[in-house]
Amino acid sequence: MTADQIAAAFTRADGTFLCARWGRPVAPVIFGLSDESLDIFRGAIRAGFAHARHPLAETDPEMGANLMLFFVRDWSDLADIPDLDRLTDAPGLPDRLARAEADQYRLFRFDADGGIRACLAFLRMGGALADSHPGHLAEAIFMRCALTFARDIAPSAPVAALIRAAYDPVLPVAATDPAHALRLAARMEGA
């Protein structure tokens, strides 16, 4: 990936750049999957963060779980989640996702230093994702939750290398200057 491609991956529609990684150990929890699929997703999360050299934890001391993945057949199923509005700070989220005909939605919370504090990802398995291969979807979900990508990314070796480069402890946990893409590209070349 070139520095320009990396910068584009973290630049939002409004032109702002944000590349942030997890600044604390990740404590994942997954809702709505069968045991067989659950093992695939747990394995992908474990392997992905091991590749990034970032620790996982059983619990986060402040929140319990800080990476929450919710799998539903339809967005109306989110109504069964207690305190969803409070959890997401997004009143009416299921209706908005249904109107947008979205298949997935992800939101991040950040620590004071800009590092990812929490990530909530919601996936509607009754739509286009219904035919997804569980292993491929698990890898994609990990990648989309590992960094604050501004656009949808597909799993690939270059994206995996980018994630590993972004977790280099020499780099800041968050950057808002697009020049950060140059630092990431340099680390990818050296890997």
Question: Of 140, 183, 185, nearest to 48 (Cα)?
Answer: 140
Tokens of 4: 């320009």
Average pLDDT for residues 105-109, to the nearest whole number? 96
pLDDT at 95: 95
What is the percentage of the chain residues whose pLDDT exceeds 70?
A: 99
- CB burial of 123-140 (b: ≥16 within 10 Å; e: otherwise) equals bbbeeeeeeeebeebbbb
Residue 165, pLDDT above cutoff 80? yes
β-pairing verdict for 174-175 and 19-20: antiparallel
Write the burial class of residue 42 (CB in 10 Å: 0-12 exposed, 13-18 middle, 19+ buried).
middle
Q: Give 189's pLDDT tier (boundaries 50, 70, 90).
A: confident
What's the pTM value of the predicted model, to 2 decimals?
0.93
Domain spans in the chain, listed from the N-terminal domain onward: 1-21+150-191, 22-146
> Mean pLDDT, to the nearest integer, of 25-39?
93
Measuring CA to CA, which residue among 178, 126, 131 is closest to residue 150? 178
pLDDT at 80 over 90: no
Confidence band, pLDDT 50/70/90 cuts, at residue 29: very high
pLDDT for residue 181? 98
Mean pLDDT of the chain: 94
pLDDT band of residue 5 (cuts 50, 70, 90) is very high
pLDDT band at 129 (very low <50, low <70, confident <90, very high): confident
Report the alpha-carbon distance of residue 10 to residue 149 in Å, rounded: 5
Q: What is the pLDDT of residues 109-126, one digit of tens each?
A: 999 999 999 999 999 998
Asked whether residue 167 carries a pLDDT value surpassing 60, the answer given is yes
Position 131 pLDDT exceeds 90: no
- 191 confidence band (pLDDT: 50, 70, 90): low
| Residue 64 DSSP code | B
Q: 22-146 — its CATH code? A: 3.30.379
Find the mean pLDDT for residues 162-184: 97
Residue 79 pLDDT grade (very low, low, confident, very high; cuts 50, 70, 90): confident
